[in-house]
Amino acid sequence: MSTPFDFPYISAKQWKNSIQFQLDGEDYATLIKKTTDQVSIKPFYHPDEDFHTLNWKINTQLSLCFPLFFHPERNFSIDASEFNYSQNISWHFSSKLSLIENTFSLPKDIHQQFVFFNKYDENSVISFYKKYSSSNIHLAYDPIYHLAKEGNFYDNYKNDIKLYKTISTQFSKFFSLFIDTTIYAQSGATDVQQIAFSLAHLNEYLTIIPNFEGKIIIKWAIGTDFWVETAKFQAFEYLLQILLAEYSTNCSYEFFTTASNRWTCNINSEWNELALNNALQIAHTINSSFHEIRTANQKSKRDFNENKIAYNRSKKMLDEWSLPTTNTLFTNSLSVQLAEKSWELFKKIERNDGLISQLFKGTIQKSIAEAELKSTEKFLNNNKEYFISFEPIAKEYIQNHTMYFKKILSKNIRKTKIRPIIEKNVWTPFYRNIFYKK
């Protein structure tokens, strides 16, 4: 029995001939666009020539994570009952671990907890693992991320790596190998660079502890383009499995995702809400285990309440959404191309002594800076009309928050071992143009 959807089969060649006829003499190849990574975007996809797949995994296990920020200057308190409603918590301390280890204790009734500090030292890290000998508490100790972001190790390479080896063996039953790859996305790296640098980042630790058989937790920043972000993640996970197979390890892995702050706007809340919702939908689609919901780095009760509202809204949306279609010819084509190009760049990094060596040479920083400049210019050019209409609102907001914008627009000059990778927001040139306008 036929249905309205029983369309006749049309080959790829027939489609191309029809398109070529419509082009009236123009070359069909002119319709194929290239991304910054030279990934081809075709005008149409057909199973005759585009049947690629990287074994896409449907995510049905995503859990939301509520962030709590603790600052030395924090002037409000949070009652324990205010965060017990959340299944997972990420703790962000803008201080050294040693400063709070005797004055603060993590609650025991939270499902999963992720703990971030600005600074670690050997004694406090070991004390932490002795105090919290639990597989549901994960300390985000990542010296390579700290080197890339701050330009320095916590102590020095030798001592940081020695500590890494110590905690991975002495506390092997509940140690999680945590790597934070968000710095690459949030500094403006291309999709291929993000994948390759993240693989090289993990590989540095796998060479240190090649027989690791615990859990790997990868923090991953999500952008705003649904199709590109899902394809990029699919390519990364595919290559991750290849890399782990090279070490013949039995370790498992999970992803801890968060919305990239590269695309957020400090002025337009509607823009931010759209970016957060896009990131949530992507996290719901890709193979993410935990997704952090946050809108502000809580320095006040108001910021805390904003995050709480965002969390509850996201939880409601997550319950209502159905999984979107992802296994398309377009997405699979992007994934295959990104995987091929990323693997080549990863191998190039390894041939040149790995990520840390390339960071000290400045190669990674230079390539990201070049990519960031092109990406920001494209964003500004594509939104010129919007900026013209939005400028009066932005001008008034910036004038009323002068100290804040002076802080985010000023350079943080400090002495470092290497040139740090700087997180850069695409809106910054727009802010700067208004702030310094005579």
What CA–CA distance (Å, rounded) separates 381 from 374?
11
Per-residue model confidence as pLDDT tens for the chain (438 residues): 445 556 677 777 777 777 777 777 777 777 778 888 888 887 777 676 666 666 655 555 788 888 887 765 554 455 545 555 457 888 888 777 776 666 677 777 777 888 888 788 888 888 888 888 777 888 889 999 999 999 999 999 999 999 988 988 888 888 889 999 999 999 999 999 999 999 999 999 999 988 888 899 999 999 988 889 989 999 999 999 999 999 877 888 999 999 998 988 878 777 777 888 888 888 888 888 888 887 655 555 666 777 777 777 787 777 766 666 566 777 888 899 999 999 999 999 999 999 999 999 999 999 999 999 999 999 999 988 888 888 888 888 888 888 888 888 887 778 899 999 999 999 999 998 888 874
Q: What is the CA radius of gyration of the chain?
A: 23
Domain ranges within the chain, ordered by starting residue:
63-330
pLDDT value of residue 152: 93
Helix (H, G, I), strand (E, B) or coil at 183: helix
Q: What is the pLDDT of residue 283?
A: 86
What phi and psi, each to the nearest 5 degrees, are found at residue 76?
-140, 155
Pick the CATH number of 63-330 from 3.20.20.240, 1.10.10.60, 3.40.830.10, 3.40.50.1970: 3.20.20.240
Q: How far is residue 184's CA from residue 194's CA, in Å, rounded to a whole number?
A: 5
Return the exposure string of 155-187: e unless at least 16 CB atoms fall within 10 Å of the residue's CB, then b: eeeeebbebbeebbeebeeebbbbbbbbbbbbb
Distance CA 86, CA 179 (A): 24
Amino acid at 197: F
**Residue 379: closest CA among 331, 430, 334, 338:** 430
Greatest Cα pair distance, the chain, in angstroms, is 76
Q: How far apart are CA 257 and CA 77, in angstroms?
A: 27
Rounded to an integer, what distance in angstroms lies between the CA atom of residue 49 and that of residue 269? 43
- Containing 185, the helix (H) or strand (E) segment is helix 182-186
Cα 397 to Cα 269, 404, 405, 427, 431, distances in angstroms: 12, 11, 10, 14, 10
pTM: 0.89
